[in-house]
Amino acid sequence: MEEKERSAEPDEESLNNKHGTACNRPKTLPMKLKEYTPEDSNKDDGGIFNLEEQFKDATSLDAKDEGIENGVYDSEDAGDYYEESEEEVIMEIVYAFADYTSNEDDGSENQLNFVKGDRLEIIAKDDPDWWWGKKNETYGYIASNHVKSNPPSAEDGVNSWQDEEYFGSYSQMRLHMEMLEDHPRTDTYRKAIVQNKKHIKGKVVLDVGCGSGILSFFCAKYGQAKRVYAVEASDFAHYTKKLVDHNGLSDQIIVIKGKIEEQQIPEQVDLIISEWMGTFLLFEWMIECVLYARDCWLRSSGVMWPSHAHILLVPSSANQQLEKLQFWNSVHGFDFTPLIPVAQQEFFSKPVYNHDVEPGSCLSRPSSILDIDMKTVSIFDLMEVSNPFSFIIQKSGTFHGFSSWFTVDFNGYPSTNGQVPVVLDTGPDFPSTHWKQDFFMMDEAVQLYKGDQIDGTISINRNYEWKRHLSVKLDFTVTSKTIGIKKYKKVFPIWR
């Protein structure tokens, strides 16, 4: 069956031929598409706008026009906008198995650009070659011979896990030094082990993605574990073995080089410990390896560390980020404001990582938008997540977007002398970690006042092609004393 599907796919030459039979482009637009002229925009010709107007009206369109939900400027579609239909029905979800880039010079500006692995939503199939649909919230025609119903897989000739790049980076001394120098991170693990040493003593531990082996060292020395299996897929495992021998711990720690999925641990374990967290908690998806280890080797009475994980979100100001746009106001005495939309697309189409949330910039109390129980969660539970959020503004200020960070708990053992479980909090009110915080910059700033409200949904979707990546969609409504009710929507890839 798989061979039949592949034989029906066009070859590379026909895929790259944008003027061939497959590209008999529709000449008319669906009812959902509405064209506008520069006169409609209240901006200069071409939809380019200056910084002064940038945060009054995020697009070159009149944000009051019916159907414009979010006033979000899309630099790829500066000439078109689409009216949302409440009756819109998604016929099918498809996935790109090859890149497609339209050629606007030959009248194909209404086609969607996409890359292999993109998730596309089909709305209409009136033309067999060109289906009407959307990618994220951008509408257009989709080349039907570039998509299929099933997500691309490694069988399509791509290392979707990017293992060489990923494990290569973890072979570098610089990266391990950065993590070891992160004292809040490393000391929290040590504190959890010391606090629960009577439960770890004489037990078997599995350290997934052990890196330099520091967590295994803690379990052996402070926890007095009977045996620790330290598994590391990168070439750094050779150095880890040397460190174990050098520190006289070879009787307790067994270093295993290779992916956890390819190992045969010879016994069940009492504790699985791992530092698997990435940007926005899930990036790199090392969590999948940890859950695999859990399902294979953790005793029913065993403990997962971290035991729980939480992603937090809060509406915030981010004045320091605006400098990346304000710079273009005047460059060596010249007006470079036409570059502001380009700068905004480059700097803020993805989250700002390693962001330091400034004191007093949070406009409300943070709220957890994802809670993970590591003992029970399935990887399938995390592939596509959609959760609501609601914030009451506690402090008046300019809303630029959302700050985010995560916390992880070290629970699972009975409390000792009434001690509370250890928590690693990467938020702005705690000592800074190498993760810092993330910031999701919206395309329009809004002045909010105490008592205003933000209600919406956050959707987290794993990238089916680049499996270590994901996207975050923020879809929300602001209810304000000054602007009334206004809708916003934006999708952020992390990082593909």
Tokens 């007093």 -> residue: 360
The residues that bridge with 462 in the sheet, in sequence order, are: 470
* Residue 348, C-beta contacts closer than 8 angstroms, at least 6 positions apart: 321, 441, 443
Q: Are 122 and 426 within 8 A, CB to CB?
A: no
Count of C-beta atoms within a 10 Å radius of residue 5: 12
Q: What is the DSSP letter of 375?
A: T
For residue 51 the two structure tokens come to: 């910084």
The residues that bridge with 271 in the sheet, in sequence order, are: 205, 303
Angle between helix axes 214-221 and 237-246 (nearest 10 degrees) is 30
Phi, psi of 77 (to 5 degrees): -125, 50
Q: Are 138 and 128 within 8 A, CB to CB?
A: no
The Cα–Cα gap between 90 and 88 comes to 7
Helix spans in 56-172 (H): 163-169
For residue 322 the two structure tokens come to: 């605006």
Closest CA to 437 of 322, 340, 321, 344: 321
Catalytic residues: 275, 284
Specify the amino acid at residue 89: V
For residue 223 the two structure tokens come to: 């926890």
The Cα–Cα gap between 411 and 387 comes to 24
Helix spans in 201-313 (H): 214-221, 237-246, 287-297
The Cα–Cα gap between 429 and 359 comes to 8
